[in-house]
Structure 1
Amino acid sequence: MRWVEFGIGMLVATAVAAGCSAPPPEPQAAPHRLQEVVQRGELRVCSTGDYRPFTYRDEAGAWSGIDIDVARDMAEELGVRATIVPTTWKTLLDDFAARCDIAVGGVSITLERAQRAFFSTSFGVDGKTPITRCEDVGRFHTLEQIDQPGVRAVVNPGGTNEKFARQALKRATIVEHPDNNTIFQQIIDGRADLMMTDASETRWQSRQHPELCPVHPEQPFTFAEKAYLLPQGDVAFQQWVNHYLTIARNDGTYQRFAAAWIG
């Protein structure tokens, strides 16, 4: 009987102790970037400003381009302001991680970038192809023709253009030019023979500079997709951006922004 009484006493004591101790608090989920942007009242947009028709920053500091218009429209949909943060192709990933919510401006999806960030759904297919003086188009149809001693290929440091050129060219001379806004003038002035860049850029630049012609932009040397750079691991923000792009590309919004640049 004493053991029964002892057992009952232990059960009562345990029940009382359990009732007195509060359950552990539920872990609070960290706010995702979409919530942060709305709470902050600001969408921070990294862009290089040197890759028309997607992004351009003029000498007075004014920003324009297809992707700049898209980013501003995203901000408006969220009820916040868009702040454009200047970056370079060489520092894009570091600047994005430290200072921005999204990066835009003709950003190509690469496996290297995908190690450190998410991408939005792709909104275009592109690839590297040459642009040269129109009288020289016949000289540079193949990589073998380009990769010859005496051929000068100009590159903007830090991006996929430079990476492709250094991988593909072993005998040609690679000439660095730090300003992608003026790099095509180097070809016109005879300081370089060609540049290999995305087909979309060769088409746009050839319309601005009648002296320059793209070489087989419909059949580039490489395959790449264009997308927006997003915070790694944040599925909620990625889904919102993807939903925005789906709607914008089907209700005419994206086409309206693009028409001002590419017709």
Structure 2
Amino acid sequence: MAKNWKKVLLAGVVSLSLVATGFAANEVLRTPDVSAKSASSQAPGQLKKQAESQLDEIIERGYIRVGMTGDYKPFTYLNPETKEYEGYDVDAMKELGKDLGVDVQFVNTTWSTMMKDLQNDKFDIAVGGVTRNTARQKTAYVSQGYISFGKAPLIRAEDKDKYLTIEDINKPSVRIGVNPGGTNEVFVREHLKNANVTVVPNNLDIPHLVADGTYDVMITDTIEAITYAKADSRLYAALTDKPFTNSEKGYMIPRGDFEYASYLEMWIDEMKLQGKFDAIHKKWLE
């Protein structure tokens, strides 16, 4: 009797162990399924599909809002006579509007407030000589480059042999005029700390102030320097073949919108492939 009782007890223990082991195994097998499903639903691509892209909003509303300063020739200039924007990026944005099948509305901004205005949804894209850099990319999405340039001095023609290096300019006796809030001011503050720097609110005023002797140097993009030197024989665009920096211009949109960014990049590729940027370049820069 004792032996039979022990056998029954042993069999019961083994049965319970098997049941428990089977239950645990089932749980272990099921857990990866649950985790995989959860990870899949939280993946960036899945989350983005659930949100409407700004690209869809632009197409649905029938117009794209383009932010620009209107003070940065030849990329953007608000003509006081016509009250219309004109320039390289104005033409480019009109091409973007055609490609999207929407109208283009230009919205005025400043270099100091451009990023904040973009974040506050005052416009859909910021253009007009926007320099690509990692500082901006931390807060927004800056497209691939569409034109190359560098920082160089715009000076008086009579001084073309006087300011050939950073050291020649970085002196207390050298008067520099610079526009606020953009990469020009950043460069001046970083590299020309010894110079006599004045921030001039209206970027359009600085070339004329250099020409008439109020300032000695305007640090700006090679493209803008060449534009003003062509328009005024008193001015000289120095070091445009060997600028202080090497950069590219891009277009800036809110970050985190894959569809919108992908469209913008493909549009830029097509503008290059179809020669449309070349045509704009010839119109405004040659």
Partner of 1:31: 52
Partner of 1:55: 76
Deviation >3 Å, runs of 4+: none
C-alpha separation between the residues in 2 aligned to 1:164 and 1:245?
A: 28
C-alpha separation between the residues in 2 aligned to 1:175 and 1:129?
A: 17
SS at match of 1:247: helix
Coordinate RMSD, CA, aligned:
1.4
Please state how far the C-alpha of 1:248 moved relative to its aligned partner.
Answer: 1.1
Partner of 1:127: 150
C-alpha separation between the residues in 2 aligned to 1:125 and 1:254?
A: 13
Structure 1 residue ranges without an equivalent (≥5): 1-25
Partner of 2:15: none
2:171 to 135, 143, 148: 148
- Deviations along 1:195-230, one digit per CA (max 9) or x if unpaired, are 111111111111111111111111111121110001
Residue identity opposite 2:105 in structure 1? T
Residue identity opposite 2:77 in structure 1? Y
SS at match of 2:171: coil
Residue identity opposite 1:196 in structure 2? I
Q: How many residues align?
A: 238
- Deviations along 1:180-209, one digit per CA (max 9) or x if unpaired, are 112100001110001111111111111111
- TM-score under structure 1 normalisation? 0.87
Partner of 2:133: 110
Partner of 2:11: none
1:207 to 230, 233, 238: 230
Question: Identity rate of aligned residues, in percent?
Answer: 35
SS at match of 2:160: helix
- Deviations along 1:18-66, one digit per CA (max 9) or x if unpaired, are xxxxxxxx98711111101001111010001111111111114210111
C-alpha separation between the residues in 2 aligned to 1:233 and 1:144?
A: 42
Please state how far the C-alpha of 1:239 moved relative to its aligned partner.
Answer: 1.3
SS at match of 2:215: coil
Aligned ranges for residues 155-234 of structure 1 at < 5 Å? Answer: 155-234=178-257
- Deviations along 1:61-94, one digit per CA (max 9) or x if unpaired, are 2101111111111111111111101001010101
Please state how far the C-alpha of 1:258 moved relative to its aligned partner.
Answer: 2.2
Please state how far the C-alpha of 1:107 moved relative to its aligned partner.
Answer: 0.3
Please state how far the C-alpha of 1:174 moved relative to its aligned partner.
Answer: 0.2
Partner of 1:74: 96
Partner of 1:8: none
Residue identity opposite 2:197 in structure 1? I
Residue identity opposite 1:215 in structure 2? A
Please state how far the C-alpha of 1:139 moved relative to its aligned partner.
Answer: 1.2
C-alpha separation between the residues in 2 aligned to 1:185 and 1:67?
A: 23
C-alpha separation between the residues in 2 aligned to 1:132 and 1:171?
A: 18
Residue identity opposite 1:84 in structure 2? F
The structure carrying a bigger helix percent of its residues is 2
- Between 1:248-257 and 1:104-113, the stretch displaced more is 248-257
Matched, 1:85 2:107: yes
Residue identity opposite 1:50 in structure 2? D
C-alpha separation between the residues in 2 aligned to 1:126 and 1:256?
A: 18
SS at match of 1:186: helix
